[in-house]
Structure 1
Amino acid sequence: MKNGKAPTREQKKIMRAHGLVPENWLVVKNLPDSLEVVSRVSLKKVGGKPRTRAISKSL
């Protein structure tokens, strides 16, 4: 998995619209129709796989 990046202002708006707290998530993929994010907390856990979520940009 590539390193996640901090979300931009527009990405934060999309995350809030889907009920996520932007400070707790990093952006892994920014596709034209969706956004793939990974939880900051799950990256710090030892073992297991990180929690990722795909978010649709259109509401």
Structure 2
Amino acid sequence: MKSGKKPTKRQKIAIKEARLNPDNWLIVKNLPDCLHIVHRESGTIKRIVF
């Protein structure tokens, strides 16, 4: 599993807009056009495109 960092307030808003719970996700990559996030427990990776 990739290690991630806690999301910032702006990133939490983007995760909420994707209908996910920001408390369960960590940020792996923060690119200008998308976020790569990993689930805290299961380790699944998702990409959120802005």
**Above 0.5 in TM-score?**
yes
User: How many residues get paired?
Assistant: 50
How far does the alpha carbon of each residue in 1:3-38 deviate from its partner, in whole angstroms, 9 at most, with x for none?
A: 200000000000000001000000000000000000
Q: Return closer, same or farther for 1:9/1:56 CA change in 2, 3 Å cut-off.
A: same
Structure whose residues are more often strand by fraction: 2
- Structure 1 match to 2:48: 55
Q: If each structure's helix is expressed as a fraction of its own residues, which one has the higher value? A: 1
**Displacement over 4 Å in runs of 4+:** none
TM-score (norm. length: structure 2) = 0.92
Structure 1: which 5+ runs fail to align? 43-49
Question: 2:26 aligns to what SS in structure 1?
Answer: strand
Q: Which has the larger radius of gyration?
A: 1
Q: Alpha carbon RMSD of aligned pairs, Å?
A: 1.2
Q: Percent identity, please.
A: 48
Relative contact order (C-alpha < 8 Å, sep 6+): which is higher?
2
Unpaired segments ≥5 residues, structure 2: none
> In the TM superposition, what is the alpha-carbon distance from 1:2 to its structure 2 partner?
4.5
If the length of structure 1 is used for normalisation, what is the TM-score?
0.79
